[in-house]
Amino acid sequence: MTSFIGFIVAIIVLSVLSGVVQGNKKKRKRSTGKRHTTVKKSNTQITSTTFNRSSITCRADDVLLKTPLDQINGAEFERLLSLYFRDQGYIVKEVGIGGKDGGVDLVIVDKRGEKTAVQAKCYADHNKVQVMTIRELVGAKRNHDCILSLLVTTSDLTADAKREAEQFKVDYWHGGLVENKLRAWGKWQPAKTKVKQRKVASTTVKTVTVICGCGAPMVERKNKDGKAFWGCSDYPSCRKTKAM
> Both 181 and 216 in a single domain?
no
> Both 98 and 167 in a single domain?
yes
The pLDDT, as a whole number, for residue 242 is: 81
Q: CB-side exposure of 240: number of CA atoms within 13 Å?
A: 14
The pLDDT, as a whole number, for residue 42 is: 40
- CB of 88 closer than 8 Å to CB of 73: no
Quick one: how far is CA 103 from the chain centroid?
19
> Both 78 and 161 in a single domain?
yes
Domain annotation covers residue 216: yes
Domain annotation covers residue 232: yes
> Both 172 and 240 in a single domain?
no
Quick one: how far is CA 171 from the chain centroid?
24
Task: Name the region of 83 (left: φ>0; alpha: ψ -120 to 50; beta: rest).
Answer: alpha
Domain annotation covers residue 117: yes
Cα(123)–Cα(135) distance, integer angstroms: 18
Domain region containing 180 = 61-185
> Both 179 and 214 in a single domain?
no
Domain annotation covers residue 40: no
Task: Name the region of 103 (left: φ>0; alpha: ψ -120 to 50; beta: rest).
Answer: left
Domain annotation covers residue 76: yes
- Within 70-227, strands assigned E span 91-94, 106-109, 115-121, 148-153, 171-173, 218-222
Amino acid at 212: C
The pLDDT, as a whole number, for residue 6 is: 60
Q: Spell out the per-residue pLDDT of the chain, length 244, in tens.
A: 556 666 666 666 566 556 654 555 555 555 554 444 443 444 433 333 455 666 778 999 999 999 999 999 999 999 999 999 999 999 999 987 655 667 899 999 999 999 999 999 999 989 999 999 999 999 999 999 999 999 999 999 999 999 999 999 999 999 999 999 999 999 999 987 665 555 555 555 455 678 887 777 888 877 767 778 777 777 667 778 888 7
Whether this model's pTM surpasses 0.75 = no
Count CB neighbours of 7 within 10 A: 9
Cα(60)–Cα(65) distance, integer angstroms: 9
> Both 214 and 181 in a single domain?
no
- CB of 243 closer than 8 Å to CB of 230: yes
The pLDDT, as a whole number, for residue 64 is: 95
Domain count of the fold of the chain? 2
The pLDDT, as a whole number, for residue 66 is: 96
> Both 68 and 128 in a single domain?
yes
> Both 153 and 220 in a single domain?
no
The pLDDT, as a whole number, for residue 51 is: 55
**Alpha helices (H) along the chain:** 2-33, 61-64, 74-87, 131-140, 159-167, 175-185
The pLDDT, as a whole number, for residue 22 is: 58
